[in-house]
Amino acid sequence: MGKRQRQKQKRPGERRKEDKKVKIYRRRAVAVVFAGVMGVLSLVDLIPGEKAFSQREDRELTLRPEISFKGILDGSVMRQYDVYRIDQFTGRSLLRLVKTGADLLAGKRKEGGVYKGKDDYLLEEIAAPDEEQLNQSIERIGEFSGRYEKIPVYLMLVPGAANVLDAKLPDFAVTEDQRQIFESIRQSLADSVRWVDVSSVLEKHMKEEIYYRTDRHWTSLGAYYAYQNLAEVMELDMEKAPELEPCAVTNSFNGMLSSASGYNTGYAEPIFIYTPKGKDAEPKLVAEYVEEGEKTATLYDRSKLIGKDEYKVFLGGDHGMVDIRTTADTTDRLLLVKDSYANCLIPFLTPFYREIIVVDPGYYEGDLDTIMEENKISSVLFLYGGNTFVQDSGLTRCLD
């Protein structure tokens, strides 16, 4: 190596000092930008006005609390007012974007329980089980199946994208081992409950678009692969199944993981539904939203495509009970107990049942035994996303 080259090289100590200076300058730049934005927003926040609903977060915002003497004494007014100021802070969305950008600049890749993964994937953190609640759910399902010995009962748990697509997680990210959690649940089930292994099916298709990049749910393609496996386990007559083809109903979906984290807020992706190729290839149906007292001849609500959460196009979102009656050539009736993961899979099942009663324990106030007694149910399917199932309390209430 020549004398001139040796002079150009910096010593390790000098390089560390320069790296340290760069980090200091970077932090100062972020602090200056943040302080500037805060100053502007504080001035703008003096302008009156409040919003009742956040389209971006798809939730109601806290409105100005009513002042009362009792509320002042017990401190409830101030607590409500603190929440109100957070929700109604002018420029809140912009401030959130600034914070997210600053965190990314500092190397942080997790916000609001959501990882910013590779290839534009946002991945919901795998939930740690609430052991007491989970054991109760498993026990209640076993007792339920024992009361109806002649009726087959199935359990399908859908793994999160962070489990199946773990290679998409940011470097050094640590999550719960959902594979181990599922295996523990499977081994704890009563012999009368049949486990539907969808994890291994999805892992075979991990290179395909089986999960949304900005939402916690699987795509219709992921649900389709799961449906094929479910049909095999439940021994459904596939000759009744029409040939299906995917059809995009939107190309602008930006899901709830984006809203929860502030990541990828400008990312847009498609939502597909599967339709029969033949015009008369599948049975006609009427879906009754029991608690709302409404009926429709489709399982898709296209009005939801103009809202923030376009995934609600499936069944119009979550409801306590939906009674789906079809013209299928069968007398079989299915009770499907679920969370939102089931919504895009349900349309695949209509050719096989005269009636499908869909219950979401998060919204349903009744009990499942009443449904079993009042209807000629021939099979029962519990279909949940893994994160919901390991922490849900609504299911045990419906099974008590």
Q: In terms of domains, do 81 and 215 share one? A: no
Residue 24: per-residue pLDDT: 61
In whole angstroms, give the CA distance from residue 296 to residue 299. Answer: 8
Same domain, 294 and 166: yes
How many domains does the structure of the chain reveal? 2
4 in a domain, yes or no? no
268 assigned to some structural domain: yes
**Which residue, of 122, 152, 187, is where some domain finishes?**
122
What 3-state class would DSSP assign to 210? Answer: coil
Is 28 among the domain residues? yes
Same domain, 167 and 27: no
48 and 79 assigned to the same domain: yes
Please tell me the distance from the alpha carbon of residue 209 to that of residue 334, in angstroms, as a whole number.
29
Instruction: Say which DSSP state 61 is in.
Output: P
pLDDT tens-digit profile of 77-111? 556 655 555 555 554 554 455 555 544 444 456 88
In terms of C-beta density within 10 A (0-12 exposed, 13-18 middle, 19 or more buried), how is residue 372 classed? middle
Is the same domain home to 128 and 148? yes
Are residues 107 and 151 located together in one domain of the fold?
A: no
pLDDT above 70: percentage of residues in the chain = 72
Is 7 strand, coil or helix? helix
- Listed in order, strand segments (DSSP E) in the chain are 53-54, 59-60, 110-111, 114-116, 122-124, 153-158, 193-196, 244-253, 269-276, 285-289, 294-296, 321-326, 333-338, 355-359, 379-385
Q: Which domain holds residue 40?
A: 10-122
Residues 185 and 326 in one domain: yes
Q: Is residue 173 part of a domain?
A: yes
Q: Please indicate, yes or no, if residue 40 is contained in any of the structural domains.
A: yes
Cα–Cα dist 344/274, whole Å: 9
Q: Give yes or no: residues 198 and 85 share one domain.
A: no
Q: Write down the pTM of the prediction.
A: 0.77
- Which residue type does 59 have? R
Q: Is residue 58 a part of any domain in this protein?
A: yes
Q: Which of 84, 103, 122 is the last residue of a domain?
A: 122
State the Rg of the chain over Cα.
26
**Does the residue 1 lie in any domain?**
no
- Same domain flag for 341 and 387: yes
Residues 177 and 86 grouped into a single domain: no
Clarify whether residues 128 and 273 are in a common domain: yes
Torsion angle of the four alpha carbons 272, 274, 280, 282, in this order, in degrees rounded to the nearest 10: -140
User: Is residue 90 included in any domain, yes or no?
Assistant: yes
- Map residue 257 onto helix, strand or coil: helix
Would you give per-residue pLDDT tens digits along the chain (400 residues)? Answer: 444 444 445 555 555 555 555 556 556 655 565 556 455 545 544 445 566 545 555 555 556 666 665 655 666 655 665 555 555 555 455 445 555 554 444 445 688 899 999 999 999 999 999 999 999 999 999 999 999 999 999 999 999 999 999 999 999 888 999 999 999 999 999 999 999 999 999 999 999 999 999 999 999 999 999 999 999 999 999 999 999 999 999 999 999 999 888 898 889 999 999 999 876 677 899 999 999 999 999 999 999 999 889 999 999 999 999 999 999 999 999 999 999 999 999 999 999 999 999 999 999 999 999 999 999 999 999 999 999 999 988 999 999 8
Give the end of a domain, one of 74, 100, 122: 122
Q: Collapse the DSSP code of 70 into the 3-class scheme (helix H, G, I; strand E, B; otherwise coil) and give the result.
A: helix
Burial category of 388 from C-beta neighbours within 10 Å (exposed 0-12, middle 13-18, buried 19 and up): buried
Residue 154: how many other CB atoms lie within 10 Å: 19
161 and 276 both lie in a single domain: yes
| Calpha distance 92→86 (Å, rounded) | 8
Rounded Cα distance between 334 and 350, Å, is 10
